[in-house]
Copies of this chain bind each other. A is one copy, B any other.
Amino acid sequence: MSKIKKIDFYFDISSPYSYLAHTQIRKFEKDKKIKVNYCPVFLAGLHRTADITPAGLHPQKAKHMIKDLKMCADWYKIKYQFNRYFPVKTIHIMRGSVVAIKEGFLSQYVDKFFKAAWVDSLNLNDEKIFEKFLKNMDLNPESFIQKLNDPKIKDDLKNRTDNAFKKGIFGCPTFVVGSKIYFGQDRLEFVFREALK
């Protein structure tokens, strides 16, 4: 029997292709009874460091991307809609994901926020909606926001993002299996094969 290799999944809630990947990873985890390691990064910062204009902010690419996302989501037979308030500004959400790691509820946190952004199309850029959403997750918005604004948490997310860039990561979703790096939800079949090899 082969030893299943660890999959690191670099994501940002702002990235719709990360949402697509997330749904397929959840399916893979369920089928294979293994856990994928979710690695939050701040994608806007990563793009800035790598000097990349994301597809969603490039007129021709964005127009194509919106159709491509729908096509891929339909193929996966998953619930999905392009967020009406795109781009989703996720600095608070991603800092919050670091808090969620430290407090042991990242998995639930990620599920909820991916759904909020890419199924329910919530305006997460609106502070009030963000706070209400935290409350619905049984979090105290005030104390959670205080935690995610802690300079240590800010640095932690920044370091995770910088370390990802140093590994050669320049976008989301990215997957790392051993020494191999895979970019894009459309490379997931290769990722799963590598992990099970």
Contacts and interface: CB of A to CB of B under 8 A. Distances in A.
A178 to B, nearest CB: 13
A29 interface: no
A52 interface: yes
A58 interface: yes
Given A68-B183, A181-B67, A183-B68, A190 B60 contact: no
B64 A58 contact: no
Interface of A: 50-52, 58, 60-61, 63-64, 67-68, 71, 75, 165, 168-170, 180-184, 186-187, 190
Contacts of A58: 50-52, 170
Given A61-B170, A170-B64, A186 B183 contact: no
B60 A170 contact: yes
Contacts of A187: 68, 186
A125 to B, nearest CB: 26
What are the 6 A-B residue pairs with the smallest beta carbon separation, nearest first?
A60-B170, A186-B186, A50-B60, A64-B183, A60-B168, A63-B168
